[in-house]
Amino acid sequence: MREVRDRISIDIKDMTFEEIKKYFEERRKVKISTK
């Protein structure tokens, strides 16, 4: 789990703010649909 989180934080460092927002919106949609 930790490796995944580290990889995600590295990805986020390379993203712009807009990309980060889009990324988290996508993740929220996925979370909602898997509930």
Kindly report, residue by residue over 8-29, the tens digit of the pLDDT.
Answer: 676 667 778 888 788 888 888 8
Q: What is the pLDDT of residue 15?
A: 72
Q: Left, alpha or beta for 6 (phi > 0: left; psi -120 to 50: alpha)?
A: alpha
Contact 23, 12 (CB under 8 A): yes
pTM to 2 decimal places: 0.41
Distance CA(32)–CA(26), nearest Å, equals: 10
SS3 string, 4-28, reads HHHHHHHHHHCCCHHHHHHHHHHHH
Q: What is the pLDDT of residue 1?
A: 58
Contact 3, 10 (CB under 8 A): no
